[in-house]
Chains A and B, each alone.
Chain A
Amino acid sequence: MGRMRQAGHRSGRARRPVWLTLAIIALAAGTLVYRSGFDGAIERADGERGPQARNSSTQEAEQELHGAESETNEGWGELTEIAPGVFESTAGLVYKPGSREGHRIDHVLRHAEDAPERPIHGVFDGGREEIFAVLDEAWSIARQRGPPVKIERNGQRTTYTIDMGRRVGYVGGGAGLRNGYPAASHIRLVLEDRDVITAFPLNP
């Protein structure tokens, strides 16, 4: 009998009183109304602010930081000579003299076709224009720091691996030959500041 009473007592303590449940609901509802009104007040008082506007401001700040001119794909991949031998792309990537090919443009364009003698060699779809355009697109995605981008930093060197969400090339070289030249949906972009060291398609 004593045990039963004790068990019934425990059960009674575990059940939340109705008045307490109502109080919690009322409190939660009040908080939601308050928060909703708070956000609304900000947007009404200042049309430039709010969550979307904050994202836009962040993007603008990053554009300024990285010298980007456009978030659209209009004219992506166009290269402008900004100093003798130095070319800047529409999205702000910089291609300078360097590498054993003599210029980073030529170094990247090695990936316009397969190199069977290399152990692995990503090959871009398309020609020169398409390659520099897709690199600008990749850089634009990379600057947004979103989930499809993996970033590794080592000193002034930064390696971006960008999931393009579609085929951008294939895996060539010896590894490609052995595996039937699988499609590549990622781009790896190796930069020092905005200077391109190399870029190629891959499957990470």
Chain B
Amino acid sequence: MEHFGICAACGQGAKRLRACASERHFLILCDECDAAWFTLEDEAPTYLKQPDLPCPACGASLVQPPSRWATLDEIRQLGWGDDLVSKSE
């Protein structure tokens, strides 16, 4: 599982990169409590509207298909590969 560390908001979930249903935007999302961050530098999370978690950029859902967790290749292409705490090759 690729992630950037433990969510500080809930202390349990992993901070992972999520592609919205339009597959054009990526957001860091806690896989436990849905806290969201635009960048890894952001400390305070954003809480998107439940239950669909609309992408702040285009409104497409971060929950409904084809939204998905980003692949390791996508994370690397976005330049965040070195920030991963854990990755499965």
Contacts and interface: CB of A to CB of B under 8 A. Distances in A.
Interface of A: 96-100, 117-122, 154-157, 159, 188, 190, 192, 195, 197-198, 200, 202, 204
Contacts of B50: 96, 98, 192, 195, 197
A157 B10 CA distance: 11
Contact of B86 (A119, A122, A192): A119
B9 A122 contact: no
Interface string B41-78: 00001010011000000000001000000000000000
B12 interface: yes
Contacts, number: 54
B1 A190 contact: no
A197 B14 contact: no
Contact of B12 (A100, A156, A200): A200
B33 A198 contact: yes
B74 to A, nearest CB: 18
Given A159-B9, A197-B33, A99 B86 contact: no
